[in-house]
A = this chain, B = another copy of it.
Amino acid sequence: MQIENIIEQKNLKLTSARRELLEILLKENKPICFEDIKDKLTMNKATFYRNILKFQSNDMINSFESNDKKRYYELQNSPHSHFICNICNTIECLKKIDNIELEGYKVMDVVFKGICKNCLEQSR
């Protein structure tokens, strides 16, 4: 999916800041936080946050907070869940789990917390 198409689909202006931000998100292909990328950003941080908000309200990205108290952002290419390890704090993307449904609710995102495979094995 090209950046031009993504933007056009949502009827947004394609600015250099937005191109930059989308390129970063596409390239990373995993949840990233502001701190991870602030040095790469040429745009002002206010612009960063305003575009994050814009993208979120257009369902282009989702975000969640990890154990390190930082907010992570990720492109919503392919919807999937995340697992955050309480020990090593690693964020793992899980394969889409489509059997998670709650009667009466529309579930759009799931974040699991607990102990990941690696840490479980090391505790044996």
**What is the interface of chain A, defined by CB distance below 8 A to chain B?**
62, 64-65, 69, 71, 83, 86, 94, 100, 102, 104-117, 120
Contact = CB atoms under 8 A, between A and B. Distances in A.
A6 B113 CA distance: 24
10 contacts: A64-B65, A64-B113, A86-B108, A94-B102, A105-B114, A105-B120, A106-B114, A107-B113, A109-B114, A111-B111
B113 A108 contact: yes
Interface of A: prevailing SS = strand
A56 B58 CA distance: 35
Nearest to A65: B65
**Chain A to chain B: the 8 pairs with minimum beta-carbon distance, closest first:** A65-B65, A108-B114, A109-B113, A106-B115, A107-B114, A104-B117, A106-B114, A111-B111
